[in-house]
Amino acid sequence: MRDTARTLTASPEASFMDRRLPLWAWLIALLSALLFLVTLRVALLAPHFAWETIWHDDLLNAPIPGWFYLLSLVFLIGSTVLGPAVVITAISQLARGHWQRAIVWLLSLVPSLTTYVMKAVIQRPCPLGGVNVYDVFHLNFMDTFRMLVPTTLNVSCFPSGHTTTYMAVFGLVAYVAATGMRPSYWRTVVVALCLITIVLVGIAAIALSEHQAMDVLGAYPLGAALLVPLIWLYERTASQPQPGPREAAK
């Protein structure tokens, strides 16, 4: 009986040890951070490179039916519903008593704030003639929110905030689905959609002239470097035992 009690008592700690991130995950975060610094150094060499124009033209003119509207929709998600969706997810976790997980979901929006600060400091110019995705879907009233963004952030674009945020948010969603859902068709669909969205937002940012290619190439490793600590925090909350009805009532 004593051995059994010891086993049950130690199980939360054992669960934490079993669910902690492996060393290679932290190595990926470190390498991603270093890669971001490399892209930053290259981006500072010139406000624009000729090959960035070629990338833009090739990505925008891809012979895929509905390609322009698909890219516009993917980019629009980050400008409208993504933030509120994360907040609603955090509130739902909080309502279930998972306040630690609620904090993790809110922290997934920190990369967006991080890019705002970086843009204000780095000041790499945005491309000219960016597509207004609000106009594409006749959401002109949303332009009011753009006026709330400081002008310095509208003309500075390194790194891409959409790409960095998608890496963090959709990367976390994909991880939670892959590790928390039972093997099924729906789990595969959720993970695949998250990964496809992460890829498409970078393409959309370049093709729609919202960002130059270097802005996106810097955003992906930055987002990856920030995603790993988010996953680590999520695993720590997942490993914590949830309070029972009696403890919650206290």
Residue 55 has pLDDT above 50, yes or no: yes
130: pLDDT confidence band, cut at 50, 70 and 90? Answer: confident
Distance, in Å, from the CA atom of 132 to the CA atom of 141, rounded to the nearest integer, reads 12
**125 three-state secondary structure:** strand
> Tokens at residue 85, please?
């969706």
Does residue 226 sit within a domain?
yes
Residue 149 has pLDDT above 80, yes or no: no
Contact 209, 9 (CB under 8 A): no
Question: In this predicted structure, what is the pLDDT of residue 3?
Answer: 45
> Tokens at residue 148, please?
């709330």
Residue bearing the bigger pLDDT, 96 or 140: 96
Question: In this predicted structure, what is the pLDDT of residue 154?
Answer: 63
Residue 192 has pLDDT above 80, yes or no: yes
Does residue 244 sit within a domain?
no
Sign (positive/negative) of CA torsion 186, 193, 220, 101?
A: negative
Task: Give the range of the structural domain holding residue 143, as residue numbers without chain letter.
Answer: 22-239
Question: In this predicted structure, what is the pLDDT of residue 128?
Answer: 84
Burial of 124-154, coded b for 16+ CB within 10 Å and e otherwise, reads bebbeeebebbebeeeeeeeeeeeeeeeeee
Residue 246 has pLDDT above 80, yes or no: no
Condensed to tens digits (0 to 9), the pLDDT of residues 61-71 reads: 999 999 999 99
Question: In this predicted structure, what is the pLDDT of residue 8?
Answer: 37
For the chain, give the mean pLDDT. Answer: 86
Does residue 12 sit within a domain?
no
CA 154 to chain CA mean position, Å: 20
The total number of structural domains that make up the chain: 1
Alpha helix stretches (DSSP H) within 123-180: 133-136, 143-146, 151-154, 161-180
Residue 186 has pLDDT above 70, yes or no: yes
Q: Please report, for residues 39, 136, 154, 157, 177, the alpha-carbon distance to residue 118 in angstroms, rounded to integers and kept in the order given.
A: 13, 29, 13, 9, 31
Predicted TM-score (pTM) of this structure: 0.85
Does residue 53 sit within a domain?
yes
